[in-house]
Amino acid sequence: MPLMMSEEGFENDESDYHTLPRARVTQRKRGLEWFVCGGWKFLCTSCCDWLVNICQRKRELKARTVWLGYPEKCEEKHPRNSIKNQKYNVFTFIPGVLYEQFKFFLNLYFLVVSCSQFVPALKIGYLYTYWAPLGFVLAVTIMREAIDEFRRFQRDKEVNSQLYSKLTVRGKVQVKSSDIQVGDLIIVEKNQRIPSDMVFLRTSEKAGSCFIRTDQLDGETDWKLKVAVSCTQRLPALGDLFSISAYVYAQKPQLDIHSFEGTFTREDCDPPIHESLSIENTLWASTIVASGTVIGVVIYTGKETRSVMNTSNPKNKVGLLDLELNQLTKALFVALVALSVVMVTLQGFVGPWYRNLFRFLLLFSYIIPISLRVNLDMGKAAYGWMIMKDESIPGTVVRTSTIPEELGRLVYLLTDKTGTLTQNEMVFKRLHLGTVSYGADTMDEIQNHLRNPYSQQMQSQASGNNTSSTLPRKAQSSAPKVRKSVSSRVHEAVKAIALCHNVTPVYEPRAGMTGEAEYTEADQDFSDGNRTYQAASPDEVALVQWTESVGLTLVSRDLTSMQLRTPSGQILTYSILQMFPFTSESKRMGVIVRDESTTEIMFYMKGADVAMSSIVQYNDWLEEECGNMAREGLRTLVVAKRALTEEQYQDFESRYSQAKLSIHDRALKVAAVVESLEREMELLCLTGVEDQLQADVRPTLEMLRNAGIKIWMLTGDKLETATCIAKSSHLVSRTQDIHIFRPVTNRGEAHLELNAFRRKHDCALVISGDSLEVCLKYYEHELVELACQCPAVVCCRCSPTQKAHIVKLLQQHAGRRTCAIGDGGNDVSMIQAADCGIGIEGKEGRQASLAADFSITQFKHIGRLLMVHGRSSYKRSAALGQFVMHRGLIISTMQAVFSSVFYFASVPLYQGFLMVGYATLYTMFPVFSLVLDQDVKPEMAMLYPELYKDLTKGRSLSFKTFLVWVLISIYQGGILMYGALLLFESEFVHVVAISFTALILTELLMVALTVRTWHWLMAVAEVLSLGCYVASLAFLNEYFDVAFITTVTFVWKVSAITVVSCLPLYVLKYLKRKLSPPSYSKLTS
């Protein structure tokens, strides 16, 4: 196959497709089978969607012209600037909640059964026996939803009612965030949230630029530099914004947070001023101003802001266990109908048989127990309470109480990097000079090396020999190279690190000094206490903080100069001649500076080893040391320098400014000019910076991997950083290969790269967001299939919507349960899309933890949350659900036997209160106490995460286990009823008394049989229930013959029947545990 094929070739020629596994495309079978199997559902949803679309016609998004300060001039109507996270409004709340409840077959069935009791011919017993449980379930659900909804409403209200200053012709006025319109001029103070998408017009900073924090938007905690529109920044006063006639033309709203195209036009001058606007002139909503005060003109509001367009609507999450139980309920319904039909058939279709059929359906309706929903919902609330009360994971909050069992079924964990796996605190760890390496414990030696050269310099300057001190240096540069001493090499390296960066020191004005402006100016330079550093990357700050710690301090910086303070207190001034910023293509940054005291010109550069290795002079240590540092999880930067003569610099500058003015291929020409300087540079040093991991990240990830959970890391960060953290956190184990997916732009490249990846076995995949987008466009199925086989996957440079898209893909293709964990606003979409979302309350605010289903305070808590709480919640709910079904089945079996003996009469066996009492007072507490059951101690579950692996197969609740329970119910129901019929003598009342008492005892004994670890509350529940029953016998004289109950005959008959119904099951259980014990029993013995 040719290596390069045109895209058209790929579009038309599908013959090469055989190298990729064919996407499994199945034709839908139209017709009756399709309709029955789910076609009706498809048709209903299509109709509903069509109606919704008609009601909410989506407005077409258009480009716009926005006049500064005149919102009324907008031609279009734009959405309100309010945030809305609610699921319902006042009108849709009740219908919405009822729909969510009755779309479950179980609840719908009860509604129909309860309504049938209003028809006199079908009435069996009392109305309250049907309506009380249903009403209780609905009341609890509506209350729970109402509380959740009210909390969401309060959170939204808080954000929407934040106050901002708006500039008007009459001066400043305060407006609420939700009342801001397109065209308003809004003033945002330092540390305030930007309320809507704006174009940056002015700032209080002299440089005409400011820093903003974007962690809530894209997850990157480094500060971004934004530049004000120069035309408005130059205006003398604020009020002049209204004296000019200007407008901004902005493209239509879109998803991409990293791009913007627009123009700024001022009309009232001759000729009109046009300025092009790009991403650096914008301030997106949900970012925070980090320096100065900014003024911007609003261009997008509400639903059209980048941050809202990148978040998805929260969906109602339904647990897998609930879906499985829903399937079982349908199976029970089929059994119910079959049983009723059999009864009517045996009757011989006499008289109004269809009415009898319906009566039988109602008689046996206990096969599907209403108490199933009540018990499970109360169980979920109990699990939530246990999670929040667990002292090993303090601060954990359960926000969605309906899905705790999901925590026990997870196969994929999708995690964010910044702030989730890492603390996002950079620490300088290592300086390597080729022959000597300095670590954290030897930094004091560097301080000593630095003191010497600067103290000598001071003496020479003090003696007034300024000229002589510069001459030897000039001579030295032309003299043959002498091997430098370690001291001078350390000095050069530290100076390079202190000069080659884009960090700005910022001084917080001290309180109480406002009046003495001159004093503060002079004082500011040296007050170390209130100096903070601002930069576009935390790595840069870590380097500059380190040079300060060893004695060379950056004290001030503006666009043209920098000042350093030496250990002896002397100030060195350097003018900045050129700045070459870091880009993801070049992977390096450079600066040309002139030392004011010696007029030397130096070109310093630092960057990633891949970019720098070809630029620096030949050496034999760089590659090896970079590898060593990367294995330790350090982020490496190579630092180099080159001395320039005045002539060399002037020649460079003229070529550089010429290249910058060219219209065609500007970027290429500029890069070529800069590259002419990047030759034979002197390698100074290699630095290693560590992004500290969160506490216990490595053991937690290892535990999750042993539990059979596949971990994917989705991050907005750079590829190198992501790979580095993947290694240091042991997300990718030391022995594993890493396959870095090459950037691809079209179908052909994607195809070749996928084939290359298929040949690799058991290696981790690292892929960037752009390449992912291309692959998903053409080879979605193949890519997901290959990625699912990888032990670990790292996706870097992911936008928030991409993160959510990956979650959805996994759900569709793998069909397994996914969990997403993150801590920033950019993780919200992913958290809401996953089956189970976990938010961490971190440095990046609380947005993620508020949107999540579970909120934790540290990443390591996820281990206990899944291994202990997730596992036990699922196992307990499975046992509880099946036991409640057993409780309904056993009584229906008894009813069936009773009816068939008495000539198929549709007469209830137990009347009124006996039925209600059976499902509530007499057996409710022992059955519900199963939520306290545990098969292994929490410590064991943490120690052996392999126990968790079994759960993903869903063996605790399946058709197989369900069938076993059905057989038990039929056996016990049959024994209880036939036994009572055999042993009763004269009165029918005795049958009721004997069978009902034996039934209650059997249920209590069955709970005891099911329990794996006894809890004192379980024993209390058993004794209490039995006590209640015995006490209530005195009042139930309308059902029972009290005189008969107190005789010995009654006692021995009940005991005999109960023993026959329960003893064989105890024996079987004992044999099973002896012959094939479950995996956990091996650990507890």
For the stretch 929-972, pLDDT in tens is: 999 999 899 999 999 999 998 888 888 899 999 999 999 999 99
pLDDT at 277 over 70: yes
DSSP 743-760: P--SHHHHHHHHHHHHT-
pTM of the model: 0.76
The answer to whether 378 and 880 have CB atoms below 8 angstroms apart is no
569 phi-psi bin (left φ>0, alpha ψ -120 to 50, beta other)? left
Interatomic CA distance for residues 863 and 942, integer angstroms:
8
275 vs 684 pLDDT, higher one: 684
Local structure of 590: helix, strand or coil = strand
Of 274-288, 514-528, 863-877, highest mean pLDDT: 863-877
pLDDT, position 21: 39
Q: Can you say how many angstroms the Cα of residue 1021 is from the centroid of all Cα atoms in its chain? A: 40
pLDDT, position 470: 35
- Rg over CA atoms, the chain: 37
pLDDT at 106 over 90: no
How many CB atoms neighbour CB 540 within 10 A? 24
Query: 260-264, 859-863, 914-918 — which is least confidently predicted?
Result: 914-918
1008-1031 pLDDT, tens digit per residue, is 998 989 999 999 999 999 999 998
pLDDT at 1038 over 80: no
Give, as one character, the DSSP assignment of residue 868.
I
* Residues 6 or more apart in contact with residue 300 via CB below 8 angstroms: 78, 182, 196, 197, 250, 253, 285, 306
Interatomic CA distance for residues 853 and 401, integer angstroms:
8
Calculate the CA dihedral of residues 324, 328, 329, 335 and round it to 10 degrees: 170
Query: 455-469, 842-856, 861-875 — which is least confidently predicted?
Result: 455-469
Block residue for tokens 């029918």 = 988
DSSP 11-44: HH--GGGGGSPPP-------SHHHIIIIIHHHHH
Interatomic CA distance for residues 1000 and 590, integer angstroms:
83
pLDDT, position 131: 84
CA-nearest of 524, 587, 519 to 557 is: 524
Q: Indicate the residue type of 1053.
A: K
Q: What is the mean pLDDT of residues 174-178?
A: 94
882-941 pLDDT, tens digit per residue, is 999 999 999 999 999 988 888 777 788 887 778 878 887 888 899 999 999 998 999 999
Phi/psi of residue 291, each to 5°? -145, 140
Query: b/e for 77-94, b at 16 or more Cβ within 10 A?
Result: ebeebbbbbbbbeeeebe
- SS3 of 782-847: the string is HHHHHHHHCCEEEEECCCHHHHHHHHHHHHHHHCCEEEEEECCHHHHHHHHHCCEEEEECECCECH
Query: 125-134, 230-239, 1070-1079 — which is least confidently predicted?
Result: 125-134
Query: b/e for 140-152, b at 16 or more Cβ within 10 A?
Result: ebeebbeebbeeb
Interatomic CA distance for residues 373 and 137, integer angstroms:
7
Q: What is the mean pLDDT of residues 775-798?
A: 93
How many CB atoms neighbour CB 1020 within 10 A? 13
Q: At what angle do helices 353-363 and 105-116 cross, to 10 degrees?
A: 120
Confidence of residue 29 (pLDDT cuts 50, 70, 90): very low
Report which secondary-structure segment, H or E, holds 616.
Answer: none
pLDDT at 51 over 80: no
* Residues 6 or more apart in contact with residue 683 via CB below 8 angstroms: 434, 616, 617, 619, 622, 638, 639, 640
Pairing of strands 737-740, 763-768: parallel
CA-nearest of 943, 896, 819, 963 to 415 is: 819
Cis peptide before 271 (omega within 30 of 0): yes
Confidence of residue 39 (pLDDT cuts 50, 70, 90): low
DSSP 672-724: HHHHHH-SSBEEEEEEEEEEEEPTTHHHHHHHHHHTT-EEEEE-SS-HHHHHH
Report which secondary-structure segment, H or E, holds 882.
Answer: helix 871-901
Interatomic CA distance for residues 1080 and 1074, integer angstroms:
13
Query: 243-252, 485-494, 715-724, 880-889 — which is least confidently predicted?
Result: 715-724
- SS3 of 993-1045: the string is HHHHHHHHHHHHHHHHHHCCCCCHHHHHHHHHHHHHHHHHCCCCCCCCCHHHH
Q: What is the mean pLDDT of residues 704-715?
A: 94
Interatomic CA distance for residues 498 and 325, integer angstroms:
65
436-482 pLDDT, tens digit per residue, is 999 988 888 998 888 877 777 666 555 544 433 333 333 333 334 45
Interatomic CA distance for residues 645 and 1053, integer angstroms:
112
Pairing of strands 288-289, 422-432: unpaired
CA-nearest of 357, 401, 409, 395 to 379 is: 401
Q: What is the mean pLDDT of residues 663-676?
A: 84
pLDDT, position 374: 81
354 vs 51 pLDDT, higher one: 354
Confidence of residue 30 (pLDDT cuts 50, 70, 90): very low
Confidence of residue 517 (pLDDT cuts 50, 70, 90): very low
pLDDT at 975 over 70: yes
Confidence of residue 515 (pLDDT cuts 50, 70, 90): very low
Local structure of 738: helix, strand or coil = strand
Query: 59-63, 475-479, 806-810 — which is least confidently predicted?
Result: 475-479
- Residues serving a catalytic function are 416
| C-alpha to C-alpha distances, 762 to 55, 236, 596, 736, nearest whole angstrom | 51, 64, 57, 7
Q: What is the mean pLDDT of residues 404-419?
A: 92
302 vs 610 pLDDT, higher one: 302
pLDDT at 38 over 60: no
- SS3 of 509-561: the string is CCCCCCCCHHHHHHHHCCCHHHEEEECCCHHHHHHHHHHHHHCCEEEEECCCE
Count how many Cα atoms sit within 13 Å of the Cα of residue 341 in the half-sphere of its side chain.
6
Chain mean pLDDT for the chain: 85
Interatomic CA distance for residues 24 and 102, integer angstroms:
34
pLDDT at 61 over 60: yes
Alpha helices in 348-409 (DSSP H): 353-363, 371-389
Give, as one character, the DSSP assignment of residue 314.
P
Local structure of 151: helix, strand or coil = helix
DSSP 235-297: SSSTTHHHHS-EEEEEPPP-S-TT---EEEEE-SSSSPEEEEE-GGGEE-TT-EE-SS-EEEE
547-562 pLDDT, tens digit per residue, is 999 999 999 988 788 9
CA-nearest of 501, 447, 487, 443 to 637 is: 501
Count how many Cα atoms sit within 13 Å of the Cα of residue 236 in the half-sphere of its side chain.
1
The answer to whether 180 and 196 have CB atoms below 8 angstroms apart is yes
The answer to whether 81 and 181 have CB atoms below 8 angstroms apart is yes
Q: Indicate the residue type of 355.
A: R
| C-alpha to C-alpha distances, 570 to 376, 564, 576, 1018, nearest whole angstrom | 74, 8, 19, 77
pLDDT at 986 over 70: no
Interatomic CA distance for residues 991 and 901, integer angstroms:
13
Report the share of the chain in percent with pLDDT over 90: 45
The answer to whether 831 and 750 have CB atoms below 8 angstroms apart is no
* Residues 6 or more apart in contact with residue 207 via CB below 8 angstroms: 558, 559
Local structure of 154: helix, strand or coil = helix
Q: Which two tokens stand for residue 507?
A: 């001084």
Phi/psi of residue 345, each to 5°? -65, -45
pLDDT, position 76: 82
